[in-house]
Amino acid sequence: MSTLVSPFTDRRMAEIVEKVRNGERLTLEDGVYLYETDDLLTLGQLANEANLRKNGKKVYFIENMSLYFTNVCEARCAFCNFRKDLGEEGSYTLSGQEMIDYVEQHIHPGVREFHIVGGHNQHVPFQYYVDSLKALHDKYPDVTLKAYTAAEIDFFTRISGLSIEEVLQELQKAGLQSLTGGGAEILSDQYRQKMKVTKANVERYLEVHRTAHKLGMKTHTTMLYGSVESYEDRINHMLQIRELQDETNGFMVFIPLSMQPKSKNAGIMRRNSAYEDLKTIAISRLMLDNIQHVKAYFINIGPQLTQVALSFGASDVHGTIIREQISHAAGALTPAGLTRKELIWLVKGAGRIPVERDTFYNEIQVYE
């Protein structure tokens, strides 16, 4: 496949095209340049070429459910509209049986994964979080538990007095099989200070995933972009993930998350542009040469832009989800979930091949 290098493509972009084609790694300076360029089509074509080499025309999705045991949280991150204080209107903490009752109302045949995240509720012991997983695992032993962010794992070490490894081992005994990618935000201590991210710092986020990989878990990782961070911050974030992946090979997918405003009534000037979203997906694909998949998360960028993103380096469209809450507690205007039929339609409409997968990217069914 030949990437377009037109008379309007400047020398710097042409050099990057050659580096990617020759298998040379992109640098911090390369990544920042790609954010600054207005040559969106060459960038997109280059990312598309890189993705096709890795994954062909296959695009992956999973039948899953998002579950939230509690929204009570000690952290007060500036971007979060999901958290509540104990006793505040709308706050909740569900028991294992209450969650099972909820799942029984909404689950359908084919669900393969529970995606579980929530607040850092310091009013319950660590055993509550262990028992929550065990209740689900005992009731639905064939559904993979992808649970908790690295920030939640770090929080569990503080309320339990256990090490990261000990916390993960206890959760594995209860049925944990993979970690979610959340809690990364932007891997910059300066950013975290500005955005009042008082949960796990950069070092702890990376150490949780490093430890999980050492214990044999494959995990996910994210980047929340579109607030106060610089382009350099975003690329440094990717480089830190790339470095850990070189060490452990434990990340399955990178998930750029487009920041949502705190109100559904927020105007377009308070939201990331489609241009910025597509750039970020494409740049992620080019910078993270050692991670197999980059996800286009329709919850944050919408189904139509997700289709376009499949020509900008994305090879995954997440899953059915069934009632996402965190982005929709803020200003997300997108559907809170899609059906299998809708995901297949979405992928086929972009000229790609839908592949239903499990949590670990084992192929369940290919929809030619």
Residues annotated within the binding site for [4Fe-4S] cluster are: 73, 77, 80
Tokens representing 91 are 């706050």
Task: For residue 64, give the 3-state DSSP assignment.
Answer: strand
- Could you tell me which of 275, 254, 266, 286 has the C-alpha nearest to residue 332? 266
Beta strands in the chain (DSSP E): 58-62, 64-67, 113-116, 144-147, 176-178, 219-225, 251-258, 293-294, 316-319, 353-357, 363-366
Task: For residue 319, give the 3-state DSSP assignment.
Answer: strand
Which residues are part of a known binding site? 73, 77, 80
The radius of gyration of the chain from alpha carbons, rounded to an integer in Å, stands at 20
Beta strands in 233-352 (DSSP E): 251-258, 293-294, 316-319
Pairing status of strand 58-62 against strand 316-319 = parallel
